[in-house]
Chains A and B, each alone.
Chain A
């Protein structure tokens, strides 16, 4: 930390400047969402605006997608390294970039970065990013090489000295299925950058460029100092997490389990994350580049460990990451990366477990959460089994669509050592997410929402319950040309419970249902609203498709889609019976699972606690645990649960 630079900065002016910078970033993000029309951005909030120093170091990232912030720093540095001389970087330029081998995670995460000049000198950068689902490549789920995934650029000058280059704009849009949508996304990023740059220059005018530079140095240095102080206050040690996921075996179309192994070492004021032991790279799109993995780690760092430290490049300085080349977290070119975010969640989850246990060891219970990435058998992400959420085809107006619907942003949060997790709280990726606006979706896409509500029994069981996720039942309407990405079911839970909590509840799998007599029932205003009931409305469609093939969904077919949940904390038998009763009354937990996992017995309508039966059932469950379990030490094989489902 440079003491001299701090002496240059008036502390009151510094605070005013920082607050203004934060507001400017928010203005940029809002500009993105106002200009854009994509539901992913406008409703889902998959966007970001941020500021970077002249050398590309992040000065401040706003709320907005956290891994996008890390990605844009890499993008700015890449443009500086590659294009400073040819074609050169000038006032009024803006560069487009979406190559995951250079910055961010996959080609759908698209950045535009803008240099900010003052008195003809480069003084800073601003950048904006959105998830843009259409790149003209194979529809999601089918790629095996990066070349299949459509438009990809490691940096191209989209705006030249303030003038939009029509030739470049056309190149980037005309290769896509919906050039209007892609074009508007591009323009929204340009607009956001213009808003941010103008605002930044007003600050330069108000405070002077030397103050701005010193303040930016201080902001970055302060974050580093705060991050190091935070680390120094935590116990030294090694923590380890193993999280599993699944991809598709491209040779036979079957599910292929993979795993993330994270070993986190904290010594003094530095911390390392080593992912040695993680699975090798995959032949489908289930891969992350090294920069993509860093973005996912940044999500865990900013939301959990350094949540109250200004998020910028300084915060990251005490952190190092090591991932063997050739693992799916550091794939070799030209591996496909389309599913990087879905699998990257497993990296974030593994790092989060290590961080949570370190914080718990430090006694910081208020900062501890169980996993925010819990999922049932099929979970929330696009390749966790069954239909995903990336739809393609034509909508009811005959317009081609290639979009994702972000109800997964209604995921539950992990439980804490002293309270339940928040239900439908959001998503760890992004503090300012939203979920799909049903009216807008039904206007633009051939989908009708029949229901969307909390899913009973979904939150991870524990002394404190993980937050419930939402579920939706959607009917295809107005088209017979709709497909969705589809992957084999595998039954591997996502996330992790903490100290005896379960990673997930028993909410359910993603389903496609071919309906029986649905049109007749609709005429009588009858339709499925409860996930538990949807199978009664027709036949579950779960074909074994050729590898990577998308699933066609005919008109009037139903999709039932539960999203991610929070994982649980502590032994479910330690949950206060009164809380379990409240769960039953509020439809968070069913009476069946209240008995099965919490050992709580209720009777009557409205339900009442049966205290004596509860005490007896809990004693029986504990006795059964000890009867069926085996000692771990000494090489004895673990015991197995009796498949008798009663009295668990």
Chain B
């Protein structure tokens, strides 16, 4: 799985691509301009995932630390790929070939 902007390799298609990203936790009371009207803490936070190559934001997840002690990224997309495709995705692609493929759209 590659970034379509900078070709950074997140990892094989058989794994959660977010494992190859970087993540920043954002507390909502910092992100928003205003607190909750009763002064209570926000019960959620954003987990922002970026491509380590170009810093493009690829996903924003909402997490509630009260519910999810471990901030595991949601594995949101798992396409069924046949064995040949999985093998191909596990191998590093030639950069030029990737560039040609992207240019071809």
Our pick among B26, B28, B64 for the contact of A377 (Cβ within 8 Å) is B28
A55 part of interface (Cβ distance < 8 Å): no
Q: How distant is B15 from chain A, measured CB to nearest CB, in Å? A: 9
* Residue of A with least CB distance to B56: A571
Given contacts A235-B80, A622-B55, A643 and B50 within 8 Å (CB-CB): no
A540 and B37 contacting across the interface, CB-CB below 8 Å: yes
A257 and B67 contacting across the interface, CB-CB below 8 Å: yes
Bound-complex Cα distance A526 to B66 (A): 44
Question: Can you list 12 pairs linking A and B with CB atoms under 8 Å apart?
Answer: A235-B79, A244-B67, A255-B43, A489-B37, A500-B59, A506-B32, A542-B39, A572-B57, A622-B54, A639-B22, A639-B24, A641-B31
B92 part of interface (Cβ distance < 8 Å): no
Residues of B within 8 A of A (CB): 11, 18-34, 36-44, 46-50, 52, 54-64, 66-68, 71, 73-80
Given contacts A255-B43, A377-B36, A629 and B24 within 8 Å (CB-CB): yes
Our pick among A386, A490, A571 for the contact of B43 (Cβ within 8 Å) is A490
* Residue of B with least CB distance to A574: B56
* Residue of A with least CB distance to B71: A638
Task: Kindly specify which of A335-343, A468-476, A491-499 makes contact with the partner chain.
Answer: A491-499
Bound-complex Cα distance A257 to B42 (A): 11
Residues of B within 8 A of A583 (CB): none
16 further contact pairs, Cβ within 8 A, besides A237-B80, A361-B79: A236-B80, A239-B77, A240-B78, A257-B44, A377-B42, A491-B28, A491-B44, A492-B44, A493-B44, A496-B62, A499-B59, A500-B60, A506-B33, A630-B23, A639-B23, A641-B31
Residues of A within 8 A of B80 (CB): 235-238, 267
Interface string of A238-257 (1 = CB under 8 A from B): 11111110100000000101
A255 and B40 contacting across the interface, CB-CB below 8 Å: yes
In the complex, which of the residues A543, A629, A632, A638 has the most CB atoms of chain B within 10 Å of its own CB atom? A632
B52 and A626 contacting across the interface, CB-CB below 8 Å: yes
Our pick among B11, B25, B40 for the contact of A641 (Cβ within 8 Å) is B25
Q: How distant is A139 from chain B, measured CB to nearest CB, in Å? A: 22
A641 and B30 contacting across the interface, CB-CB below 8 Å: yes
* Residue of A with least CB distance to B24: A629
A-B interface, 9 closest residue pairs, ranked by CB to CB distance from nearest: A491-B42, A629-B22, A622-B55, A542-B38, A638-B23, A236-B80, A633-B19, A542-B37, A500-B57
Residues of A within 8 A of B30 (CB): 641, 643, 645
A509 part of interface (Cβ distance < 8 Å): yes
Q: How distant is B11 from chain A, measured CB to nearest CB, in Å? A: 8
A629 and B64 contacting across the interface, CB-CB below 8 Å: no
B23 and A489 contacting across the interface, CB-CB below 8 Å: no
A509 and B37 contacting across the interface, CB-CB below 8 Å: yes
Bound-complex Cα distance A244 to B67 (A): 10
A7 part of interface (Cβ distance < 8 Å): no
Q: How distant is A424 from chain B, measured CB to nearest CB, in Å? A: 22
B76 and A239 contacting across the interface, CB-CB below 8 Å: yes
Residues of B within 8 A of A543 (CB): 38
Residues of B within 8 A of A574 (CB): 56
Q: How distant is B93 from chain A, measured CB to nearest CB, in Å? A: 19
A19 part of interface (Cβ distance < 8 Å): no
Bound-complex Cα distance A439 to B10 (A): 56
A240 and B18 contacting across the interface, CB-CB below 8 Å: no
Our pick among B31, B41, B78 for the contact of A239 (Cβ within 8 Å) is B78
Q: How distant is B12 from chain A, measured CB to nearest CB, in Å? A: 12
Residues of B within 8 A of A236 (CB): 79-80
* Residue of B with least CB distance to A509: B37
A237 and B79 contacting across the interface, CB-CB below 8 Å: yes
Bound-complex Cα distance A493 to B50 (A): 20
Residues of B within 8 A of A353 (CB): 76
Given contacts A257-B66, A259-B64, A645-B30, A357 and B50 within 8 Å (CB-CB): no
Q: How distant is B104 from chain A, measured CB to nearest CB, in Å? A: 15
A626 and B44 contacting across the interface, CB-CB below 8 Å: no
